[in-house]
Amino acid sequence: MSFITGVGLTAFGRHEGSSSLDLMSKAAELAIADAGLKRADVDGILCGYSTVSPHIMLATVFAEHFGIKPSYAHAVQVGGATGLAMTMLAHHLVEAGVVRHVLVVGGENRLTGQSRDASILALAQVGHPDYEVVLGPTIPAYYGLVASRYMHEYGVTQQDLAECAVLMRRHALTHPGAQFHDAITVADVMASKPVALPLKLLDCCPVSDGGAAFVVSRDRTGETGVRVLGCAQAHTHQHVTAMPGLSELGAEIAIARAKATSGVAISDVRYAAIYDSFTITLAMLLEDLGLAGRGEAAARVRSGYFNGNGAMPLNTHGGLLSYGHCGVGGAMAHLVETHLQMTGRAGNRQVSDASVALLHGDGGVLSSHVSMFLERTR
């Protein structure tokens, strides 16, 4: 068994003068305190990567900086799926008895530490260096390609996708740590600057500074336990040119495996934390995971199904689209918010019943997937 025993999250947006290590440290300190532990209790460290400060040994750099001498430590790199992939590994490490408390941490000064162009350029490198990157695509263009095909096959419109952005913004308005605090409408999304059509500026997550961390432990440390029920991965390709057909993507494979290992059905799920780098990402994943019928994600958003008081509250902190995206820590915020909801600490965002949660992360261009079920135990 493994439990998420503590979580920590900074505000996302501008943290002028903070390094990636500063943001990681801040989040780590919050998570360790939240778990009721001391630095010295942590015997395992898993961290992500920083595009601003690349290093071949970031976990030990962080351990030294933070003042921990762990018995197990290394970095993990699976793009946007890194946070959940680290959580999955931490779960297996504590179950196997390798360590007692794993600190999972990600943080980056991606907004103020480099130019926006540098961020866009760094991220475009997930493409093939010889056959794709030289053509001048961007991450939004890779997802724009997927969006055009998805819209074509399933009759989804740009207005449909815009609904996802509006929902995430509405949720962010209730969280003081979110990067954006202005309400938007479908018309605003439609009128926003074209980035890589069919995706426009408000279909895309922002670049942010921020950090997130959690502690995964063999035993619960608090009154309310949040237990990992089961998790699974799927990796079907790296490059969009080599992506399989829309009906053969990794999200469907990963969720099927996670359901099989945990015995959980989608009908058991009460809260959803789903990767939302772009509106198309969120719409597709909701449908691939079975949280909406094919081509029906937007209709479910419009009906209030994913609202805080709806049947399946979704990314109540505002997601990558509106809480913000600082790299590895970006999607880790989804897990932090899930933990707050499951332990009844989400304040004005608290949903009525977050007893079972589904989390899903995606890295690359729908390349790497991690699905995970969490359960609240009292």
Two tokens, residue 219: 């035993």
Q: How far is the CB of 151 from other proteins (least distance, A)?
A: 9
Q: Which of 40, 57, 134, 299 binds other proteins (CB under 8 A)?
A: 134
Alpha-carbon torsion, ordered 107, 324, 168, 358, to 10 deg? -10
Part in contact with other proteins (CB under 8 A); list of ranges 83-91, 96-104, 122-130, 345-353: 122-130
C-beta neighbour count of 308 within 10 angstroms: 18
Which single residue is written with the structure tokens 């961020």? Answer: 119
For residues 138 and 316, which CB has a smaller minimum distance to other proteins in the complex?
138
Part in contact with other proteins (CB under 8 A); list of ranges 54-62, 89-97, 138-146, 184-192: 138-146
For residues 23 and 204, which CB has a smaller minimum distance to other proteins in the complex?
204
Q: How many residues bind other proteins (CB under 8 A)?
A: 35
The kind and range of the H/E element at 238 are: none
Does position 194 bind other proteins by CB under 8 A? yes
Two tokens, residue 376: 């609240």
Q: Are 91 and 5 in contact (CB under 8 A)?
A: no
Does position 145 bind other proteins by CB under 8 A? yes
Q: Which candidate, 340, 296, 374, places its Cα nearest to that of 30?
A: 340
Part in contact with other proteins (CB under 8 A); list of ranges 38-46, 131-139, 271-279, 355-363: 131-139
Part in contact with other proteins (CB under 8 A); list of ranges 147-155, 172-180, 303-311, 320-328: 147-155
Q: Which residues pair with 80 in a beta bridge?
A: 78
Does position 155 bind other proteins by CB under 8 A? no
Pairing of strands 72-75, 199-200: unpaired
Binding mask 196-215 for other proteins (x = CB under 8 A): xxxx----------------
Does position 144 bind other proteins by CB under 8 A? yes
Does position 191 bind other proteins by CB under 8 A? no
Q: Which of 128, 220, 227, 302 binds other proteins (CB under 8 A)?
A: 128
Gap between the Cα atoms of 375 and 378, Å rounded: 10
For 50, counting Cβ atoms within 10 Å of its Cβ (0-12 exposed, 13-18 middle, 19+ buried), the class is: buried
Within 59-118, the residues that bind other proteins by CB under 8 A are 117-118
Does position 187 bind other proteins by CB under 8 A? no
Within 214-253, the residues that bind other proteins by CB under 8 A are 239-242
Gap between the Cα atoms of 75 and 282, Å rounded: 27
Does position 140 bind other proteins by CB under 8 A? yes
CB-facing half-sphere around the CA of 107: CA atoms within 13 A: 29
Which single residue is written with the structure tokens 């937007």? Answer: 298
Q: How far is the CB of 79 from other proteins (least distance, A)?
A: 18
Q: What are the CA-CA distances from residue 241 to residues 125, 153, 196 (Å)?
A: 14, 18, 17
Two tokens, residue 135: 């053509």
Where on the chain is the footprint of other proteins (CB under 8 A)? 117-118, 120-121, 124, 128, 130-132, 134-138, 140-142, 144-149, 152, 193-199, 239-242
